[in-house]
Amino acid sequence: MSEKFILFNDEKIDASQLMMLTDLAQLIMEDNEVKVNFQKFGYYDPLEKSLNVSFKWKHRADQDELYALKSDCLLYGMGYPYIEQSAVHDLLEEEFEYTKFRNQLFMLLEEYRLQKIILDFRPAAAKYFETRIRLKVQQNTSQIKVYETKKMPTDLLFLKIERAVLTENILDLGTEAGDDVDAVIRQRLTGLFDLDSTRDTVDLTLSLLFVLETILTEDMLNDYYYLPVKLLKDIRRFKETKSTDITGEDKGADSIETEDVMAKNSHTSSSGSYMETEITEGQNSKADSGNSRAGDTSDEPDEIMAGRGKSENKRDGDGVDIAEELGSENKDVRIEWRKPDITTRSKQNYALIQQAVMNEVKKLTHIIQKTIAHQNEHARRQLAMGRLDRKLVNWFIDDQKRVFYKEDQQSKELDATFSLLVDASYSMEDKLEETKKGIVLFHETLKKLMIRHEVIAFNEDTFSSDKHGQLNIFDYLIDYQQSLSPGSGPGIETIAAQDDNRDGLAIRVAGEMLKRRNEQQKFLIVFSDGEPSAFEYESNGIIDTHEAVLKLRREGIFVINVFLSQTQISESVENTIKNIYNDYCVFVEGVENLPYVISPLLKKLLLQSLH
């Protein structure tokens, strides 16, 4: 819907940095659906709810890079409501031969104005913009030196105007146009310090163009600033279509003018005009397509609002429609549930694994059962008040007569349930055999302790996935209802490495199932060996997974990641996983050690559920 730039394959995105920027963008725009993307130029796209920051800031000193990227978020996110769209359209409709020069000159001046507004509201952001200006001045100086030796007069003229604006040193501006023209440019450019609105910026731009068009002989060759012209046209078209759909009449330009006025009145800060007022109300506009259907009387109200009814291909393992809980990054997924095909061979293999871990299972269950017995025996009796105990020995030997108990505290039981998610993507192929031992230890321990649980493997079918839909497969290896039956278990042996992993979706699906369980304590453990990776899900998938984890934690479900690796785990990977799971993660170097990690982890979680 808007212009997209190529992000080359060798440009590695820092996941933790992306999450930090996304948190900042959502905070300043007060919208949890806003996503941050890297593009050639920064700008905000309301139709996609995408705040784009520029990858030109990459490969600098760490602090400079971070501060410059944060300045992009503030400038294009916080500054967005202060851009008056109708004024920009008026500028674009003015006839001018050198459009690249016109558009970039306008954006240079408008960014200066927006920066001043932001600093008035957020003085603490000064350090970010000081870094931004310093880096831009450095780049400007080097470019001027290059273009002074080349015949690129329009680019050179623009760069000299840019330096005057960045340094706020208008009086020293000198171009190749001559003293008379320079004097007029300097005089008009002083209007920079009096800009109060986008309309003022447009007027100043046109005033400068009136002088400069007489000396320009060609348009600029390079891009230094970006005005998303196509996006602006798409926004206008969307607003006009929306107006027509609602009223049945085409209000045309009048509707745009009305919306601008409404936006000015509704914005809490009276100094700016909202570029868009109701574009993102309700559903993301990407969902507005010809595939929607009319609602019927069986639909829930929120389903009708979303433009769809019940979803047959977005159900969890209990058969419940969870389409509304999957998040915007997973709106095109199709979910398919499969039951394991249990064969004689798989039963035999399971028995061998079971035998290998049974000592650990016995140790762990003994510790837990002993702890329960100890708490039941000592923590509930010999009280100074309550019900009279049948054992009255203390009446004779205890001066304080502690012969009472409280029935509501008479017993201590494990009131917990677990869900184990297993990444079954292709990268797990060399780890699955050892991983199965950890899963069997998990299952057999909980079965002996009579704790219901489920084990689910997940993967995305790479070859059938495209922009129209992504098939995600969930293998229900251990069913919650059957998890305590003697024959449960061999399904674990059927895990096979498949294609990709859409972790955020899997966590949301398992989380919805856990929320319906009756147990007091609910644990979701995720076995994985890397970052989320699926169709158009790499960087956004990290954010989606992080948000899924936070959502479940807020709802009282403990989410823990067990990260598996056959080699030493790098610091950057470890930091990314910690950022996703907020330090609730265990790192296993050498998957053969997994059973010895699962045992203390389960012990800790089970004992926690006793308190």
Higher-pLDDT residue of 308 and 29 is 29
Higher-pLDDT residue of 610 and 481 is 481
Question: b/e for 92-114, b at 16 or more Cβ within 10 A?
Answer: beeebebebbbbbbbbbbbbbbb
- Pair 428, 392: CB distance under 8 Å: no
Token pair recorded at residue 301: 């109200």
- Pair 537, 467: CB distance under 8 Å: no
Rounded-to-integer distance, Cα 562 and Cα 543, Å: 19
Judged by average pLDDT, the poorest of 71-75, 361-365, 366-370, 414-418 is: 366-370
Q: Which helix (H) or strand (E) element contains residue 546?
A: helix 538-554
Q: What separation in angstroms does the CA of 547 have from each of 19, 35, 520?
A: 10, 12, 23
The answer to whether residue 294 scores a pLDDT higher than 60 is: no
Rounded-to-integer distance, Cα 171 and Cα 165, Å: 11
Backbone dihedral angles phi then psi of residue 227, each to the nearest 5 degrees: -110, 115
Mark out the alpha helices in 555-593 (DSSP H runs): 571-581
Rounded-to-integer distance, Cα 303 and Cα 323, Å: 10
Higher-pLDDT residue of 238 and 464 is 464
3-state secondary structure string across 85-150: HHHHHHHHHCCCCCHHHHHHHHHHHHHHHHHHHHHHHCHHHHHHHHHHHHHHHHHHHHHHHHHCCC
Token pair recorded at residue 490: 């061999």
**Which of 98-107, 251-260, 480-489 has maximum average pLDDT?**
98-107
The answer to whether residue 96 scores a pLDDT higher than 90 is: no
Q: State mean pLDDT over 445-472.
A: 89
Whole-model pTM over 0.85: no
Residue range 65-82, pLDDT digits in tens: 999 999 999 999 999 999
Rounded-to-integer distance, Cα 456 and Cα 422, Å: 6
Give me the pLDDT at residue 288, please. 42
Give me the pLDDT at residue 111, please. 95
Judged by average pLDDT, the poorest of 202-206, 219-223, 263-267 is: 263-267
The answer to whether residue 232 scores a pLDDT higher than 50 is: yes
Backbone dihedral angles phi then psi of residue 199, each to the nearest 5 degrees: -60, -40
Q: Which residue in 117, 93, 114, 113 sits closest to 103, CA to CA?
A: 93
Judged by average pLDDT, the poorest of 84-88, 311-315, 550-554 is: 311-315
Tell me the average pLDDT of the chain.
79
Q: State mean pLDDT over 89-106.
A: 91
Give me the pLDDT at residue 32, please. 84
Work out the percent of the chain whose per-residue pLDDT is above 70.
79
Residue range 253-280, pLDDT digits in tens: 444 443 443 343 344 443 443 343 333 3
Q: At what angle do helices 179-189 and 153-167 cross, to 10 degrees?
A: 40
